[in-house]
Chains A and B, each alone.
Chain A
Amino acid sequence: AQRVTQPEKLLSVFKGAPVELKCNYSYSGSPELFWYVQYSRQRLQLLLRHISRESIKGFTADLNKGETSFHLKKPFAQEEDSAMYYCALNAGGTSYGKLTFGQGTILTVHP
């Protein structure tokens, strides 16, 4: 069975500081990894996926299969980045589309 672990429930940084939200996964196959974000009073939405290797709102995430990690990084945090962030894994196959989510990390960016 697959599992996603986000070790930090809360993360606080100051505006302009670098931020890294950790995500580790366990899965025997070749997973697809995603980051979802939930801003205050907004719906949970997709932030980025590892396959696209794109930068969204300044965030990037690299899949490290050796360390089974998919950490989310931003070099200079902004106050509007404050939100709940979830790492998610898609095991594929007949479960394609079904996601396993981590516990979530609440990021607070202080002015």
Chain B
Amino acid sequence: DQQVKQNSPSLSVQEGRISILNCDYTNSMFDYFLWYKKYPAEGPTFLISISSIKDKNEDGRFTVFLNKSAKHLSLHIVPSQPGDSAVYFCAASPDRGSTLGRLYFGRGTQLTVWP
């Protein structure tokens, strides 16, 4: 039972263009959402997060949008760079107020940015 879904296993974007990675969730109890980036042979690296009380959070080239009514979030990377090529995981937590010990992850989207 996948509560966090990333329906696009891969995305290919030209350098300098926008990358949009999508994520859907089913559990209305989720109140905190995160994006992680993972390179081969490394652990996931935290990228950006958003609380359910917000609909947008921006950090440099990365922006996360949250649509609670649609249970959908997206990560925008502008401009995309070849170094952004990695697997991106969407994750959700039902209780940020205590600890983020339990995260629910999607299957990931492989982003490839070509020159």
A and B together in one complex: no
Contact surface of B with A, Cβ cutoff 8 Å:
none
